[in-house]
Each structure stands twice: as C-alpha cells, then as structure tokens.
Amino acid sequence: MTDDDEGRLRALVAELEAQRGELVLDRFTHDDAWELGSWLWRTAVERDLPVAISIRHGEQRVFAAARPGTSADNDAWIERKERLVRRCATASFLVGRRLALSGGRLEDAGMDPLLHAAAGGCVPVVVRDVGMVGTVTVSGLPQADDHALVVEALRALHAR
C-alpha cells in the first residue's frame, strides 16, 4: 500500500467512525423498520438499483425485498454481513476498512470468512441510551455503494 493509499484509507476510516455517532436513532420500532425498508425499496426502484434489502429488529427479520438483478448469492452476502455486524456492533464497511488498514484478517479475530463478511452494506441500528437493536443491510452494488445507500436511508429516517 502506498502512502497515498494509506492516507485515503485512514481518512475513510475516520469518516466511517464519525458516521457511528451521527446515525443514532431515538427509537426503532417495527413500523420504523417498515418505513426504512420502504424508503430503500422506493429509492432502489427510482435509481434502478439491483439490490437485496434486509432489516432486522433484534434477531427477527422484519423487512426483506429483492430487486431484479439480484440472486440467492446476495442473500448469502446479507447473512454474512449481518453475522459480522451482530458480532462486532460496527458497520461491516468500517470493519473491512480497519482490517485493510491494519493488514488484519477476519480469522485473526476468530471469525470464519465463510460465515462473516467484512464488506460494506450492513449497518447496526443503534438507539440512544439502549444500544444496538438491529441491522440494515443492502447487497448488490459495490461495497462502498451498498454502505452509502444504507447510510442515506438511516439519515432519512433520522431526519423525520
């Protein structure tokens, strides 16, 4: 990795860490999950994005949808990203970028890469004074775009 690459990666990690505090919600109900999933669906339709969407409240999947251009492979990626976020309570993209920066691997943290994916697209749902209560996951785009779409959706929910 060149010094420029490392500098860009450090800046991205700092940006992703800053998002953690920005995306804290005051509440997250099943109705909020539906609103969030519906926003993601509408946006995917408007932008013609081939994405699969999963929202969990606790361990329960409360919203799931898939657009044309996705497959069961996207479902498998969703499961692996969700498993990582449930374990780390951190966005999958942030975990992956931290690993890239440190040269670490999932195996070094005792995680099987067949079961966990440090690829962008899954963000923990965090409620103020409660902690992590679920996950929002998108699969189908490049990992940075999966992550950005989830962040955009959470910002829209936070702004309401």
pLDDT digits (tens, 9 = 90+) for 99-140: 999 999 999 999 999 999 999 999 999 999 999 999 999 999
For residue 104, the tally of other CB atoms under 10 A from its CB is: 13
Q: How many residues does the chain have?
A: 160
**For the chain, which residues make up each domain, given as ranges?**
3-159
Token pair 């109900």 in the structure block, residue = 29
DSSP 152: H
123 in Cβ contact with 86 (< 8 Å): no
What is the helix (H) or strand (E) element at residue 54, kind and residue range? strand 52-57
Query: What's the confidence (pLDDT) of residue 4?
Result: 76
**Exposure on the CB side of residue 125, measured as CA atoms within 13 A:** 27
Any idea which fold 3-159 has? Beta-Lactamase (3.30.450)
d(CA 153, CA 159): 10
Least confident span in 3-12, 120-129, 139-148: 3-12
Helix residue ranges per DSSP H, the chain? 3-22, 30-47, 72-88, 92-102, 143-159
Q: Average pLDDT, whole number, for the chain?
A: 96
Token pair 């962008």 in the structure block, residue = 120
Query: What's the confidence (pLDDT) of residue 1?
Result: 61
pLDDT digits (tens, 9 = 90+) for 58-85: 999 999 999 999 999 999 999 999 999 9
Q: What is the mean pLDDT of residues 142-150?
A: 98
16 in Cβ contact with 98 (< 8 Å): no
Least Cα distance to 108 among 120, 121, 95, 119 occurs for 95
